[in-house]
Structure 1
Amino acid sequence: MSDRIAECTERIDAKISKAVAEAIGVRLRIDVRPEETKLPVQLQLLLNQLRSQDNDT
């Protein structure tokens, strides 16, 4: 089974990886709205970093 996982991992290139990360970010921004939810400080810091990175691109 680990061979099967290794095969799948090799097929994910940088373009696909970036697309998946962006899709996850979009979903998080939709589902986790800091204005509406009291988040732990560490999670709030991470979300702020994501916003900052999004603004840089």
Structure 2
Amino acid sequence: MNKSFEEQLKQLETVVKELENKDISLDDAIKKYKEGIELSKVCYEKIKQAEELVIKEIK
């Protein structure tokens, strides 16, 4: 099941908070960073698709 945009954005926010934690190990930080990058790509694509839909509807 695909998560909604809101769920993925919330997950990305959680990853960012975890990365801001000063007690995180380097290995965990790298894993979280990679997870965050993937989540940001998915969120960006969903925003881009929504923008294209709105532009199409306006024309």
TM-score by length of 1: 0.43
Higher RCO (CA < 8 A, seq sep 6+): 2
Return the structure number with greater helix share: 2
